[in-house]
Structure formats: C-alpha cells, structure tokens
Structure 1
Amino acid sequence: MPNIASILKAEISRVARKEVRAEIETLKKVSVAHRSSIAELRRQVNALEKELRRLVKGTMRPAAASDSDDQTSAGTKRRFSATRLAAHRAKVGLSAANYGQLVGVSGQTIYHWEQGKARPRAAQLESLAAVRNLGAREC
C-alpha cells in the first residue's frame, strides 16, 4: 500500500507543477506586456517633459522682452562699459572702495566690473547711472 500512496503523491505533485507552470507562463506574458507598456509610457513622459522645458524656455524670452520694453518706455535702457566706469572713477578721483560705497557695492566688485570679470545687475546699473550724474564736487 505505501507504494500506491507514494505513486499517487508523485502524480499529484507532477500535475500540480504542470498547472502551476501553465499559470506562471501566462503571468509572465502579462508581466512582460505591462513592463513594455510602462517603458513606452516613460519614454512618452520624458519626451513631453523635454517639450515642456523647450516651450517654457521659449515663453520666457518674450516675457523678458516685454519687461525690457516696459523698462524702455519707463526710462532709458542702461548700458554698461567697464572702461567708462574706470574713467569716471578716475575723473572724480575716488578709490574703488569709496566709489563702491556710493553705488552700494564693495570696492572689489568695482574692480571686477572695471576688469570685465563681472557685470552689474539692473538695479546696480541704476545706481551707477545716479553716481555717474554726480560731478567731482558732489562725490
């Protein structure tokens, strides 16, 4: 009798493995399909994000242009020249530190501007314009 029990047990085990293997195969196919669709969706998301960055970058330029138009209509657009800054500072006879105090920056910043290593921001350009209008006596 133990022989029949072991044979029956082996046969049940074999049939169960066969059934499980069939179910696993279908699950594997579904899993592969899901993974490929996920990969395609990721590619689409990356492409859309890239397009969005490009569009945002493109819309920023016209907005900046309209700001400069507003600035032009409100007043003159300021230009910066490193040699003119150095010439004006020499004309009024101020050190870079003193000139920087008038503008609201450090003397080192004035040196960097004069050497062309840096450029002033818009607010600093307005300060420079105000100081530029001052003569040697007012400084």
Structure 2
Amino acid sequence: MPNIASILKAEISRVARKEVRAEIETLKKASVAHRSSIAELRRQVNSLEKELRRVAKGAKRPSTAVDSDNDAAAGTKRRFSASRLTAHRAKLGLSAASYGQLIGVSGQTIYHWEQGKARPRAAQLENLAAVRDLGAREIAERLTTR
C-alpha cells in the first residue's frame, strides 16, 4: 500500500509544475513582444540618427558665394590633411613627440591626427601652419630651447 504522504507530495509537485509552466508561457509571450518592440524602436532611432546626420551635414555647408572681406575679417581658413602632416614630419625627420612639442600637443595627438582618428582645433591649425613656415634650423633651435 502506497504511503499517502508520498502520493500527496507527488500530486502537489505536479500541480506546481503545471502552474509554473502556465506562468512561464505568459512571461515568454510578453518577452517576445517586448523584444520586437525594442527592435522596432532601435530601427527608428537609427533612422532618426541617420536623418539628423544628413540634416546636420547639409546645415554645416557654407554658401558658395563667400566674400573676400569675410575671409580677411575671420582670418584665412586653414585646411588640414593627415597625409601632408605625416609627410612634413617625415621630411623633418622628427618623432611625433618632438613634432607635438613644437605645436603644443602630445605625440599621441600627432599620431591620432595622422591616422585620421582626430582633427586639430582652430588654434592648433594655426600652430601647425606656423611650424610649416619654419625652416629646419629654426625648428632645431625651438626644440633645443624647450
């Protein structure tokens, strides 16, 4: 004759498993719904970011008819080229740290500029232009005085 306690225990565990299974099903359905809504929201955010970049890019472009008076008042607009920076530093035979010392930045910053990971600010562009105008002797003098 089976023990009534073991039968009762087995029945309770069976009913509990059935209840847990039902609860887990509803949680799974909710989870799937949440995941799909999250994916849709991500797609919307990506499209909005893309649109924002496109609009910002269009807004940053200056008009083609620029007065020469504006250029003179604002100073000449400096352009930056990573390959030219690398070529100039190689021509002088300087390390990135030494070249950075001339400009007032670190050697790591020079590497980032050369690799295109970063761009110099306006004041740093002016310093770059000033260093480009110097000769090899003047550069050597500046490096020895610092």
TM-score relative to the length of structure 2: 0.47
Asked which structure has the greater CA Rg, the reply is 1
TM-score relative to the length of structure 1: 0.49
